[in-house]
Amino acid sequence: MTASGAEDERLREKHAASIAKVHAWRVRANQARVAGRKADADRCDDKVRDWVSRAKQIEQQLAQ
């Protein structure tokens, strides 16, 4: 595997992990919201936004 191929593979793995984190934090936010813990849900929503941003950055790197 070439150096760029290895880098692409690493980025794809990071992207998959980021998408998994987005899903996990959305589930936590929904659970907190259902339980009436608005502050916790808001913090989880912040984490979702952070991970979505990271995933988009990785997508841009892969597109280059």
Residues spanned by the domain of 53? 3-63
Q: Is the pTM of this model over 0.95?
A: no
pLDDT at 6: 87
pLDDT at 3: 59
Q: Which single residue is written with the structure tokens 């150096």? A: 3
Burial of 57 (0-12, 13-18, 19+ CB in 10 A): middle
pLDDT at 30: 98
Domain count, the chain: 1
The pLDDT tens digits for 7-58 are: 899 999 999 999 999 999 999 999 999 999 999 999 999 999 999 999 999 9
Asked whether the predicted pLDDT for residue 1 surpasses 70, the reply is no
pLDDT at 18: 98
Round to whole Å and give the CA distance between 64 and 15.
15
Tell me the two tokens of residue 46: 């912040």
